[in-house]
Structure 1
Amino acid sequence: MNSEDASLPPPDSGPSSPGVPALIAAGLCASLVGIGLARFAYTPLIPALIAAHWFSPDAVVFLAAANLLGYLLGAVGGRHLASAVGSVAALKGAMLLTVLAFLACAMPVSPAWFFFWRLLSGVTGGVIMVLVGSVVLARVPPGRKGMAAGAIFLGLGVGIAASGTLVPLLLRTGLTGAWLGLAAISLVVTVATWRAWPANERPRASGSMALPDEARRTLRHLYGQYGLMALGVVPAMVFMVDYAVRGLHWSIAAGSLLWVVFGLGALAGPLSYGAAADRIGFTRTNRITLALQVVAAALLVHTTSIALVLVCVFVLGTFPPGAVPIVLGRVSEVVTGPAAVQSAWSRATTAFALVQATAGYLDSFLLTASGGNHGLLFLLAAVAFLAALAWDLLAGRGEHAPA
């Protein structure tokens, strides 16, 4: 055991250990506030922001990508922040800063003001994504880690579904009321889980861990595939309601309902993907789900059938939160030990965030330059998913090729 492994607390002794369910709930709430609401609640707000003339349509679209850029910064700096102030303190602080960002967004002072706070809410989301798994899973018995991981990242799906149902209700009080309502919900969730977190500890600094060449090569393949997945998920995650309103010419209410369908998919994703992985393995589950994403994204390029749109959106919704425990599970198959997994997962998250931030601005540019052609974005998503699937198949064939 290396020094960093020794710095992590041992898991609880059994499934009935006190505090584990509450800690898993705290992890779910952290991902709910920092990512589920902070990122995804903005999507159904886009048409309302444009209609209320808070900012120009182009500005609103580009502001959507600010959160993705912040997520990259948080993913890169999350482990360094944990070393400085402690993992639990960083998680609690990130949740409080997210509440503050919601409050600040209730005032449309200027695009620069809005950009800063959307950026900050992305930073807090990146910090939470990098740290929450290691804090929670290190204290969960081995037999429960799979379900615990699914439950933690279920917060993303809950946030998507909640934003699609709550935001339209909150918008009845106006845009300012909607932002204040999101701040209030996030504050209540943060306070309710405050005591469920363990004592704050600073992880010990450690040098780079030596890995076999084959493991390093496999991880590089995973990072590349995860980056392509990030390119694929951005159009639906960021522009789904805008696609319904400006692309399909649905009402804002109908667009929000489409976001609810996306959210239902997001609720189904983590646990269904995890159950499939338990039966057929992480790699095969990943390939099947990628193939489904290719088909769903490609169909949205041309179809206007309401039934087909609903099915495709549900399928696309399963992937953003469902892919997280799958990739984390694949990382855990390559490396062993909490420290090694955390280090590799941090790099995977950074790769995802880097491509996601770039894709956010790329998609915003393409959407503006094409005069609102959402089909172009879904075509790009289909190509990205197909490339990730092909990479995985080719990499797997190379790993099993005879020497």
Structure 2
Amino acid sequence: MPPIAKLLFGGCLTLAIVMGVGRFLYTPLLPLMQHQYGFTPDIAGLIAGANFAGYFTGSMLAALTSRGLARRLAFRGGLLASVVTTIAMGLTSDLTLWLILRLLSGMASAFAMIAAAGIVAEQLARIGEESRLAWVFGGVGAGIAFSGLIVHALIGTMNSSALWVLVGILTAILMPLALVFVRERPLPTSRRPADPRRRIPRPLAFWPLFASYTCQGLGYSVFATFIVALIKARSGVEGLGDWVWIVTGLAILPSCLVWSKAAERIGFAAALTTAYGAQIVGVMLPVVSTSPVAALAGAVLFGGTFIAITMLTMPLGRHGLAGRGFAVLTAGFGLGQMLGPIAAGHMVGAAADYTRPLAASAGVLALGLTALVVAIRQRDRTPAKMA
């Protein structure tokens, strides 16, 4: 395997383990956990919020490990902790321990993801192949689809505890490949000619962009937590719940590559605006229609945009606030996604009707799109190409 392929595969596998599984395995297992343990939607939102709180905390701490040995240790420790906390979720039924484990899992996924992406991005930048980082983020979709398929195949024969352990063990088997492949290594110089049509990102007004990205964190997290529970609560389409989540993962796989190419053609801000619009439609489809087609189309639109929006936002705001833009944007996003499931869980209530919080999350995403438009309009006009 060529060195660049090893690096990309290792990064992709890391995100599959710590994000696709470590962070999002809870989504397809949530209905099964509620059936097994009998907890209410507000508790479900609290458990999800604990994981997002851990990710928020880990993202902030990861800023202290941006280079060298500290980053390598953050990557390895985060990867190992993600696997261990996934397995441990199936070994207890205590709510307090669940909250602690999900908090630690969120921190672990942030450390491993940020460290791995940083290592890969730096290596690619040295040879002018930054655009290939999109392959790494596709790992989130691979992990979601992989774990979703396992849950779907075994849901009739295994309870949620056993599935936490099983999927965790499978990630433990794959983990050594990620540990070996994600490292600094010499890469051959790129021979691809420069594309004169390629557009580059031009920074947007920071605070409206911050507001937009915070809304994105809140809005997406509700769909990502409760969509399977929503579909499984509907009479006649219950069996589609697992497939909606699997399709979401499959849609993520090519999304970053597609949106990266689109941004280089039509501009980053235009691509980001379009992605927001598509995501709002995707979130609303299962709200306004109970048909299987609407649910699957919503999964495609949501999966095809939510990782890509992060990929498109960062280049437009990372240099803001004297270079602190990445950390501040991540903080806003983390705060939004921490509050989203908790608020949504309380909105669901005892009736187990998930349509209202999903509709509310679409409204929050619409506010995010509005803030994004404001950020674009406030950007100073220059003779340079529009981003």
TM-score range, shorter chain: 0.7 to 0.9
Letter in 2 for 1:257: W
Aligned with residue 112 of structure 1, among 87, 96, 99: 96
Moved over 6 A (4+): none
Asked if the contact 1:88–1:197 (Cα under 8 Å) also holds between the matched residues in 2, the reply is no
2:74 is the counterpart of 1:69: no
- Normalized against structure 1, the TM-score is what? 0.82
2:228 is the counterpart of 1:232: no
Asked if the contact 1:265–1:314 (Cα under 8 Å) also holds between the matched residues in 2, the reply is yes
Aligned to 1:322: 308
Aligned with residue 183 of structure 1, among 163, 168, 175: 168
- Cα distance, 1:344 vs. partner? 2.9
- Cα distance, 1:352 vs. partner? 0.8
Q: Map 1:101-180 to 2 at 5 A.
A: 101-140=85-124, 141-147=126-132, 149-171=133-155, 172-180=157-165
- Please give the alpha-carbon distance, in whole angstroms, between the structure 2 residues aligned to 1:111 and 1:197: 35
- Cα distance, 1:377 vs. partner? 1.7
Deviations 1:222-266 (CA, angstroms, capped at 9, x unpaired)? 222111111221121110110101245633x42101211222222
Letter in 1 for 2:331: T
Identity over the aligned pairs, expressed in percent? 22
Asked if the contact 1:130–1:349 (Cα under 8 Å) also holds between the matched residues in 2, the reply is no
- Cα distance, 1:124 vs. partner? 1.0
Asked if the contact 1:247–1:373 (Cα under 8 Å) also holds between the matched residues in 2, the reply is no
Tell me how large the CA RMSD over aligned residues is.
2.7
2:334 is the counterpart of 1:353: yes
- Please give the alpha-carbon distance, in whole angstroms, between the structure 1 residues aligned to 2:28 and 2:329: 28
- Cα distance, 1:37 vs. partner? 0.6
Asked if the contact 1:55–1:111 (Cα under 8 Å) also holds between the matched residues in 2, the reply is no
Uncovered stretches (5+) of structure 1, i.e. residues with no partner: 1-15, 201-214
Deviations 1:163-197 (CA, angstroms, capped at 9, x unpaired)? 22122234433333211221112112211122223
Aligned to 1:4: none
Deviations 1:55-91 (CA, angstroms, capped at 9, x unpaired)? 4554334212221111111111112255796111101
- Please give the alpha-carbon distance, in whole angstroms, between the structure 2 residues aligned to 1:267 and 1:114: 29
1:225 and 1:56, CA in 2 relative to 1: closer, same or farther beyond 3 A?
A: closer
1:249 and 1:110, CA in 2 relative to 1: closer, same or farther beyond 3 A?
A: farther
- Count matched residues: 364
- Cα distance, 1:387 vs. partner? 1.4
- Normalized against structure 2, the TM-score is what? 0.86
Aligned to 1:363: 344
Asked if the contact 2:123–2:184 (Cα under 8 Å) also holds between the matched residues in 1, the reply is no
- Please give the alpha-carbon distance, in whole angstroms, between the structure 2 residues aligned to 1:124 and 1:352: 17
Q: Map 1:213-228 to 2 at 5 A.
A: 218-228=205-215
1:221 and 1:38, CA in 2 relative to 1: closer, same or farther beyond 3 A?
A: same
Asked if the contact 1:161–1:267 (Cα under 8 Å) also holds between the matched residues in 2, the reply is no
Aligned to 1:298: 284
Shifted more, 283-292 versus 120-129: the winner is 120-129
Deviations 1:348-394 (CA, angstroms, capped at 9, x unpaired)? 2222111110112111111226x323221222222122212221222
Asked if the contact 2:88–2:101 (Cα under 8 Å) also holds between the matched residues in 1, the reply is yes
- Please give the alpha-carbon distance, in whole angstroms, between the structure 1 residues aligned to 2:317 and 2:129: 17
Shifted more, 87-96 versus 137-146: the winner is 137-146
Aligned with residue 233 of structure 2, among 215, 237, 246: 246
- Cα distance, 1:143 vs. partner? 3.2
Aligned to 1:378: 358
Aligned with residue 388 of structure 1, among 356, 368, 383: 368
- Cα distance, 1:216 vs. partner? 8.9
- Please give the alpha-carbon distance, in whole angstroms, between the structure 2 residues aligned to 1:55 and 1:151: 38
